[in-house]
């Protein structure tokens, strides 16, 4: 593939530039003023807590990676393509390569997450300190810290995928890399989600509800765990989640590209490599776009973030148009890229509509809260259900447009759908940067309060925080729609991989095995959500016990004369979160394999389909309803319907607490769940197909 190889080098180079900029920004953030001694002390507690969690997470990851790596090395050493038809040959190089790719994928995702989280912890306190100088300086620290993760993530992904492909020339090995990244994402996202809400709920129930002390009060033993949670759940978790979709969509399209033009090696290589081209262009667009994100002395941070996103999308559109025209690509890939970008924006703004306090859903939910918590819940939940409709229509339109325009221009339709996912995700550098900004400024506010900083600092932090919440709603919509298109592509890639092994898959809804597969797949996301949410309440009860024990045994804590044992709560949350992952993680990885072996490849196709459909709907429902309840509470706190302390406010607090595990634990993990299940299926598809031919 001589004509396309330069592009692989370009991708690796763009990735290296991205990582270099991330490293430079990492240093820049650390060189900023770290504030008062008290603030630094608080920050050090958060750093210790975060490190302690990461140590446990990476230990768990290592165990899982070694175990799965060995399985992969063994399984893929057999020449499964010819299982049953001729003598079985053994190729340990392929098995070893696949296992290595798997481990490298997990490590790359872990490194990006580690950089992102460690810079976030450093940036919390520095952003608070910078608030003394004004909103523009404080914003810059937080946003550039967020960019560290965004750029490290896309950079490492580009380097990793490019290198694996360069060395092996086999997209199926790159699938191993993607599976590694997704396995980490599952642990990081679901674990982080459980961690953060365990700490949040326990801290609130004992602190705010039982004792009436304010949020982020340093006397509360769970307060540090709560602040750590924002970093591990929202920063590291969301980063891993998008890393996972980013890599998975790129790999899936490479696989689909490799099945095009099977008798023209040059064209085949050209379209196999095109998703990497889009990654490279997306990195360039993000690097430029990030430069445009800045606010003046009285600027609006929310506008700055949106401006950055829109400029990045525009640059990507221009660059893609240029490359497609100059490089003589078929126009279908351009339309697909643009459809993907447009859908990302539509779904993002839909989330914004349903969760912003300027629109009917939040206003109405706040209004009815005066009649009690139950009405608040019913109303918010109903709007959450309705919010799935425009997003699903957007995803459906993107699918149809990219499919038929790609087919019309002479490519396979499903390749076009994949390109629309990659197009949407190629601007992840920018998206993750503005997403990670949110929890950083949220934490800056917490530190400012705990360290007794001035009211001006707290007010500035509040303004920055509000912008973060809007950005978060938009990026969540983005992440879910990207995951939806990604898994639809992976689904096609699965069928493609099975097809190349001689099993022509007809995943027809008129086949009872497919129906049964769909039914089983459709209940998996609800089951997964339930398990993670029950883990949150279980772990929160354990932590409540620990908080009460500390207050009881050390009365000095409540009096403010004694330092609580923050580490005990941090450890409890970390241990609980990781233990809770065993069953859901097992489900995600082994259920598809089980369905495939027992019920056959058609049923597995149905299973994936079913999990995708309900997965997307529950993810949208839970994210949007959660955001809506959160903002309805904030709307009331701004003075509407009686303000803080009124009956309406109490009702809205219940809604917000229900929404917490919805939007931060169960909802977003579903993306990763369906990606992991689709990847596992594609990876094991040849074996399952061979087993059923046998």
Binding residues for a second copy restricted to 199-228, rule: CB under 8 A: 201, 205, 209
The stretch near a second copy (CB under 8 A) out of 321-329, 333-341, 457-465, 499-507 is 499-507
| Interface positions, 400-419, toward a second copy (CB under 8 A) | 400, 403-404, 413-414, 417
DSSP characters over 23-72: HHHHHHHHHS----HHHHHHHHHHHHHHHHHHHHHHHHHHHHHHHHHHHH
Tell me the C-alpha distance between 166 and 259, whole Å. 18
Tokens of 447: 């530190």
* Minimum CB distance to a second copy, residue 265 (Å): 26
| Residue whose CB is less far from a second copy, 72 or 495 | 495
Tokens of 14: 């763009």
| Residue whose CB is less far from a second copy, 541 or 691 | 541
The answer to whether 533 contacts a second copy (rule: CB under 8 A) is yes
Tokens of 124: 């919390």
Q: Compute how many residues bind a second copy; rule: CB under 8 A.
A: 77
The stretch near a second copy (CB under 8 A) out of 150-158, 262-270, 529-537, 556-564 is 529-537
* Minimum CB distance to a second copy, residue 601 (Å): 13
| Residue whose CB is less far from a second copy, 392 or 441 | 392
| Residue whose CB is less far from a second copy, 127 or 388 | 388
Tokens of 162: 């490019």
Tell me the C-alpha distance between 634 and 629, whole Å. 9
| Interface positions, 598-637, toward a second copy (CB under 8 A) | 605-606, 609-610, 613-614, 616-617, 621
| Interface positions, 658-687, toward a second copy (CB under 8 A) | 658, 661
| Residue whose CB is less far from a second copy, 15 or 610 | 610
Alpha helices in 327-372 (DSSP H): 331-355, 360-368
| Interface positions, 307-346, toward a second copy (CB under 8 A) | none
The answer to whether 111 contacts a second copy (rule: CB under 8 A) is no
With H, G, I as helix, E, B as strand and everything else as coil, classify residue 644.
Answer: coil
The stretch near a second copy (CB under 8 A) out of 77-85, 132-140, 148-156, 484-492 is 484-492
CA 390 to chain CA centroid, nearest Å: 21
| Residue whose CB is less far from a second copy, 302 or 655 | 655
The answer to whether 493 contacts a second copy (rule: CB under 8 A) is no
Exposed / middle / buried, residue 298 (Cβ in 10 Å: 0-12, 13-18, 19+): exposed
| Interface positions, 132-191, toward a second copy (CB under 8 A) | none
* Minimum CB distance to a second copy, residue 394 (Å): 10
DSSP label at residue 214 = P
With H, G, I as helix, E, B as strand and everything else as coil, classify residue 76.
Answer: coil
| Residue whose CB is less far from a second copy, 181 or 202 | 202
Tell me the C-alpha distance between 568 and 576, whole Å. 12
The answer to whether 256 contacts a second copy (rule: CB under 8 A) is no
* Minimum CB distance to a second copy, residue 539 (Å): 12
Alpha helices in 230-326 (DSSP H): 238-258, 265-291, 301-326
Tell me the C-alpha distance between 505 and 520, whole Å. 19
Tell me the C-alpha distance between 13 and 483, whole Å. 26
| Residue whose CB is less far from a second copy, 282 or 380 | 380
The answer to whether 537 contacts a second copy (rule: CB under 8 A) is yes
Phi-psi category of residue 330: left, alpha or beta, with phi > 0 → left and psi -120 to 50 → alpha:
beta
| Interface positions, 350-369, toward a second copy (CB under 8 A) | 368
| Residue whose CB is less far from a second copy, 267 or 375 | 375
* Minimum CB distance to a second copy, residue 220 (Å): 16
Four-residue CA torsion sign, 306, 308, 310, 312: negative
């Amino acid at each position: 593939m001589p004509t396309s190889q330069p592009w692989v080098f370009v991708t690796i180079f763009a990735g290296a530039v991205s990582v270099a900029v991330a490293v430079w920004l990492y240093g820049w953030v650390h060189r900023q003023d770290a504030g008062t001694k008290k603030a630094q002390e608080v920050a050090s507690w958060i750093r210790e807590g975060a490190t302690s969690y990461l140590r446990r997470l990476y230990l768990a990851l290592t165990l899982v990676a070694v175990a799965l790596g060995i399985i992969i090395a063994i399984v893929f050493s057999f020449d499964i393509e010819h299982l049953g038809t001729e003598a079985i040959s053994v190729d340990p190089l392929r098995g070893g390569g696949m296992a290595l790719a798997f481990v490298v994928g997990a490590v790359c995702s872990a490194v990006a997450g580690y950089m992102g989280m460690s810079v976030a912890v450093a940036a919390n306190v520095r952003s608070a300190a910078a608030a003394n100088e004004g909103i523009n300086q404080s914003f810059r620290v937080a946003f550039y810290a967020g960019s560290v993760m965004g750029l490290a993530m896309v950079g490492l992904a580009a380097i990793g995928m490019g290198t694996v492909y360069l060395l092996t020339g086999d997209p199926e090995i790159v699938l191993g890399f993607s599976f590694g990244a997704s396995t980490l994402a599952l642990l990081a996202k679901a674990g982080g989600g459980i961690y953060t809400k365990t700490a949040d709920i326990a801290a609130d129930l004992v602190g705010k509800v039982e004792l009436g002390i304010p949020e982020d009060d340093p006397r509360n033993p769970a307060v540090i765990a709560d602040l750590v949670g924002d970093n591990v759940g929202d920063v590291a978790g969301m980063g891993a989640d998008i890393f996972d979709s980013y890599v998975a969509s790129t790999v899936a399209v490479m696989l689909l590209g490799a099945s095009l033009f099977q008798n023209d090696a040059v064209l085949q290589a050209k379209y196999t490599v095109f998703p990497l081209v889009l990654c490279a262009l997306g990195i360039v667009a993000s690097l430029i776009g990030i430069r445009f994100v800045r606010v003046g002395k009285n600027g609006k941070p929310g506008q700055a973030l949106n401006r950055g996103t829109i400029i990045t999308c525009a640059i990507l559109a221009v660059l893609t148009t240029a490359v497609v025209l100059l490089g003589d690509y078929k126009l279908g890939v351009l339309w697909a890229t643009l459809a993907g970008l447009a859908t990302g924006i539509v779904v993002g703004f839909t989330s914004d509509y349903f969760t912003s306090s300027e629109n009917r859903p939040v206003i109405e939910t706040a209004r009815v809260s005066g009649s009690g918590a139950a009405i608040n819940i019913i109303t918010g939940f109903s709007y959450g259900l309705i919010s799935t409709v425009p997003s699903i229509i957007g995803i459906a339109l993107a699918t149809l447009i990219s499919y038929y325009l790609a087919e019309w221009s002479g490519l396979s339709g499903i390749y076009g759908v994949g390109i629309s996912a990659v197009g949407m995700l190629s601007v992840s550098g920018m998206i993750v940067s503005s997403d990670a900004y949110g929890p950083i400024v949220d934490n800056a506010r917490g530190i400012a309060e705990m360290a007794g900083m001035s009211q001006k600092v707290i007010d500035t932090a509040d303004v920055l925080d509000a912008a973060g919440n809007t950005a978060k709603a938009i990026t969540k919509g983005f992440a879910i729609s990207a995951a939806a298109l990604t898994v639809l592509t992976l689904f096609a890639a699965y069928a493609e991989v099975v097809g190349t092994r001689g099993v022509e898959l007809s995943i027809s809804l008129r086949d009872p095995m497919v129906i049964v597969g769909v039914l089983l797949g459709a209940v998996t996301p609800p089951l997964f959500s339930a398990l993670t949410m029950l883990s949150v309440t279980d772990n929160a009860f354990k932590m409540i016990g620990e908080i009460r024990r500390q207050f009881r045994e050390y009365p000095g804590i409540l009096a403010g004369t004694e330092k609580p044992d923050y580490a005990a709560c941090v450890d409890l949350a970390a241990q609980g979160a990781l233990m809770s992952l065993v069953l859901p993680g097992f489900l995600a990885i082994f259920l598809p394999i089980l369905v495939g072996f027992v019920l056959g490849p058609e049923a597995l196709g149905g299973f994936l389909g079913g999990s995708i459909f309900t997965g997307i709907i529950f993810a949208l429902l839970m994210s949007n309803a959660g955001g809506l309840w959160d903002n309805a509470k904030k709307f009331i706190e701004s003075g509407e319907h009686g303000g803080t302390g009124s009956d309406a406010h109490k009702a809205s607090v219940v809604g917000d607490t229900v929404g917490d595990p919805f939007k931060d634990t169960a909802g977003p993990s579903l993306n990763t769940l369906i990606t992991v299940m689709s990847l596992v299926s594609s990876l094991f598809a040849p074996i399952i197909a061979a087993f059923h031919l046998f």
